[in-house]
Amino acid sequence: MSALTRIPAPDGLAPAAQYSHVVLGTGTFVAISGQLALDADGTLVGEGDPAAQARQVFENLRRCLAAAGATFDDVVKLTYFVTDMEHLPAIRTARAEHMSEDRLPAASAVQVAALVRPEFLMEVEAFAVVAS
């Protein structure tokens, strides 16, 4: 695990409710491409179901992080791309299954008109720092 410092509320900013404003650390930078709700066979998981898609997306992120020798504790930034902001609670629930509230990364949420295929409701990318 890398040594990360999380700053939820820098001077002059309101505290962040669901993320840290700043995360810094030293080590090797890891970029995880946006993950979709596809299983190991490339089959969509949870068509029309934001909760099922979010669970699969976070499982895919976990596997990608593991391939880099990282865990969710090493994540410094998540970016959520959603087709509807109403899907954010499902994402937060899935995230909570993998990340504790005291170790939240920086985050951005962006509503998009569409993803690569219309049945995808979300895509999540991650950046992490692992010990060198």
The answer to pTM > 0.95 is: no
| Exposure string over 41-80, b if 16+ CB within 10 A, otherwise e | eeebbbeeebebbbbbbbbbbbebbeebebebbbbbbbbb
Q: How far apart are CA 126 and CA 35, in angstroms?
A: 9
For residue 100, give Cα distances in angstroms to 66, 83, 103.
Answer: 18, 26, 5
**For 96-112, what is each residue's pLDDT tens digit?**
999 999 889 999 999 99
**For 41-80, what is each residue's pLDDT tens digit?**
999 999 999 999 999 999 999 999 999 999 999 999 999 9
On whether the CB atoms of residues 74 and 4 are closer than 8 A, the answer is yes
pLDDT of res. 16: 83
